[in-house]
Amino acid sequence: MSPHFTRVVKEVYGYEDVRYMVAGHKTWQATINPYYTEPEFLRMAQQHGLAHVLVDLRPAARAAAGHIAGAVNFPAETDLVAAAKALDAALEEAGIKKNARIIYYGDDDRVTRAFHDTMHANSWNNGYILNGGMAAWRAKGYPVDHGPLAAKPVYEGTTVLPGAMSMSEFEKIALHTPPDTVIIDTRSPAEWKKTGVVPGALLIPIDTLARRLDEVPRDKNIVVHCAAGNRALQVWRMLIDRGWDPAKVRWVDGKPHKSKKHILKKM
């Protein structure tokens, strides 16, 4: 969607030099470039039980004096390469896969970035730098643990994001929508026409939602879908922010038009 975005920023708002990075964020991350996660996400991951390895890169004493719950300690400020080697070995020993979500933090984002780059070069390809490190975490007022840190990394928990619904679950609901459930298709009219829609679904393009919120029931289960999950996730966020019950709203993490069950029917 950036193509439209760049055009509007240039022509409507008058910025002289507007560029579009076509390759997108996934390719950026895959090509060993630094990638930052926010404290808000890590906090959500803790509360939701999202599987991740959290690595504190500060000296043991400083980490013990205040760290983020669940972190393992691999001090990297004095010998970064040795620390990366030690973590690499510990992850291998724990049987953790190379695509596991790993979040690094410390007191100096430059050290964290160098560490991230070293790990990435060693094929740990789903690493994140906690933006702003320990200071940013504290600034948010999030809880800080004290005492010795765990030495062995563990990778436990769910890999499903909050509110997400798998395609297999959605297929069942799309074929037999229960009376207490409303499906919202947040794609554009052109997409509805091209691929068809789930019969009975409420059709609200994402850019129209703000004006049509009163059509979205509050007392029913809501399932939002789009073409791949991005817009559905954004609509999920909009509804939660506007007071819909988080227990009743789900977003579909998948591509309904690719379903082998043919859940979309011609309009």
Q: Is residue 34 at the binding interface for another protein, with CB under 8 A as the rule?
A: yes
Asked if 214 touches another protein (CB under 8 A), the answer is no
Question: Torsions phi, psi of 233, nearest 5?
Answer: -65, -40
Residue that the structure tokens 């059509």 belong to: 215
- Residues forming beta bridges with residue 156, ordered by sequence position: none
Q: Binding of another protein at residue 161 (CB under 8 A)?
A: yes
Interface map 180-199 toward another protein (x if CB under 8 A): --------xxx---------
Give the DSSP letter string of 46-113.
HHHTB--EEEE-S-HHHHHTSB-TTEEE---SS-HHHHHHHHHHHHHHTT--TTS-EEEE-S-HHHHH
Q: If binding is defined by CB under 8 A, does position 99 make contact with another protein?
A: no
Q: Point out which span in 57-65, 83-91, 174-182, 200-208 binds another protein (CB under 8 A).
A: 200-208
CA distances from 51 to 23, 99, 153, 255 (A): 27, 12, 11, 24
Residue type, 240: I
User: Within 10 A of 32 (CB to CB), how many other CB atoms are there?
Assistant: 13
Q: For residue 260, state whether it binds another protein (rule: CB under 8 A).
A: no
Is position 37 an interface residue for another protein (rule: CB under 8 A)? Answer: yes
CA-to-CA distance for 82 and 195, rounded, in angstroms? 53
Q: Which stretch binds another protein (CB under 8 A): 27-35, 67-75, 81-89, 171-179?
A: 27-35
Residue 5 binds to another protein (criterion: CB under 8 A)? yes
Looking at the Cβ atoms of 25 and 218, the one nearer to another protein is 25
Q: Which residue, among 164, 266, 142, has the nearest Cα to 225 in the 3D structure? A: 164
Dist. CA 156–CA 154, nearest whole Å: 6
102 near another protein (CB under 8 A): no
Per CB under 8 A, 6 contacts another protein: yes
Could you say whether residue 202 binds another protein (CB under 8 A)? no
Residue from 125, 177, 230, 259 binding another protein (CB under 8 A): 230
- Contact residues for another protein (CB under 8 A)? 1-29, 31, 33-38, 40-41, 44, 128, 161, 188-190, 205-208, 211-212, 228, 230-231, 233-234, 236-237
